[in-house]
Homo-oligomer: A and B are copies of this chain.
Amino acid sequence: MRIGALSALTGLSRDTLRFYEKQGLIRSQPSSEPSNTYRDYPEDTAERLRMITDARDAGLSIADLKKLLDCMESGDLGAFDLDAFLDERIAQLEHVIATAQRTLDMLNGTRAAVAMSDQIHIPQ
């Protein structure tokens, strides 16, 4: 798959995809016809990118993501201190969920207040 198709499939810009590749989050091969300089992305790259965008949207950094993907791919569990690393990221995500939930509750409260004030609003 070429970069344009991947971009259309994922909603990520070509620039972002190239950037992610430079950061080592995804990989590509030179196209089958060596007449051009185009690159070819494996079919499962879109899938991989869904994981990546989820993690990014949840607040994980590219550097962390790279570590994770690297050792998940190499099957090299036990690299550096994976266990501690996982514990930290898990705690981080739980924190994000908790704060997002609290903030969500606050906003829902605000929305309720707005609805209220709309209800008792007197024209003129």
Contacts and interface: CB of A to CB of B under 8 A. Distances in A.
Nearest to A83: B114
A97 B104 contact: yes
How many identical subunits does the complex contain?
2
A95 interface: yes
Contact of A103 (B58, B100, B111): B58
A93 B114 contact: no
Chain A interface bracket (under 10, 10 to 19, 20 to 34, 35 or more): 35 or more
Interface centre among A94, A97, A101, A103, by most B CB within 10 Å?
Answer: A103
Contact of A114 (B59, B82, B99): B82
Interface in A89-111: 89-90, 93-97, 99-104, 106-108, 110-111
B86 A93 contact: no
Nearest to A72: B110
A55 interface: yes
23 contacts: A53-B99, A55-B99, A55-B103, A57-B95, A58-B100, A59-B59, A59-B100, A77-B113, A77-B114, A78-B114, A82-B114, A86-B107, A86-B111, A86-B114, A90-B104, A90-B107, A93-B100, A93-B104, A93-B107, A94-B104, A96-B96, A97-B101, A100-B100
